[in-house]
A and B are shown apart, each in its own frame.
Chain A
Amino acid sequence: QVQLQESGPGLMKPSQTLSLTCTVSGGSISSGGYYWSWIRQHPGKGLEWIGYIYYSGSTYYNPSLKSRVTMSVDTSKNQFSLKLSSVTAADTAVYYCARLGTTGSQPIDHWGQGTLVAVSS
């Protein structure tokens, strides 16, 4: 059974760069067939797509965040990562890593438990 686990700082200051890592177990990122994604949820709000990365390193970012987002993958560690620069209070959210298919309706079939990142001075 595939499992995903986010790790990273829970509290940040404005203007810093958020760095989160997702460790995948029970399956190999490099086997292909899936996109590896980041999604966030502001407190008490809905879900916002941040972007995804394929094992080859190809990426897609939400245009609204594209200027501040970088994703990377480390297949040797079976991990993928998110960097979000110049954070503000508006980036306070629960960040989820997730797996979605590359075909059909590309459902998100596995999610991490989520990690709360708070931005405050």
Chain B
Amino acid sequence: DIQMTQSPSSLSASVGDRVTITCRASQSISTYLNWYQQKPGKAPNLLIFAASTLQSGVPSRFSGTGSGTDFTLTISSLQPEDFATYYCQQSYTTLYTFGQGTKLEIK
């Protein structure tokens, strides 16, 4: 199995801050990497696919970079609605796996 490790596991930030979340794969996954946002009691929501392509309707303050084993999700200027848990997910192998999540909290 490909292990996906996110850092940090939790993060406190303020509205307007620039925030970066990292996801590392246990082996190279090219750009077969997707990012999701999940709010309490809700299903995850696709933000970015193929490492850097913004899903339709997602604000442009979200961006993704990376390839191989190291990936980042950046929120350029935090908005109140961005406080949530973020997951990365690899689809390089058929056994898709998710990172453990990064909980973004209000400072």
Are A and B co-members of a single complex? yes
Taking each of A60, A104, A112, which has the highest tally of chain B beta carbons within 10 Å of its own beta carbon?
A: A104
Contact count A vs B, C-beta below 8 Å: 56
Contacting pair B33 A105 (CB below 8 A)? yes
In the complex, which of the residues A47, A49, A105 contacts B44, with contact meaning CB atoms closer than 8 Å?
Answer: A47
Chain B residues with CB below 8 A from A96, complex form: 43-44
Q: Tell me if B34 counts as interface (CB < 8 A to partner A).
A: yes
Contacting pair A108 B89 (CB below 8 A)? yes
- Report the Cα distance A106→B31, complex, angstroms: 11
Chain A residues with CB below 8 A from B34, complex form: 105-108
Contacting pair B50 A63 (CB below 8 A)? no
Interface size of A by CB at 8 A reads 20
Q: Interface segment, B11-19, B20-28, B76-84, B95-103? A: B95-103
Chain A residues with CB below 8 A from B32, complex form: 105-106
Contacting pair B43 A105 (CB below 8 A)? no
Interface, chain B (partner A; CB < 8 A):
31-34, 36, 42-46, 49-51, 55, 87, 89, 91, 94-101
Interface, chain A (partner B; CB < 8 A):
46-49, 60, 62-63, 96, 98, 100, 104-109, 111-114
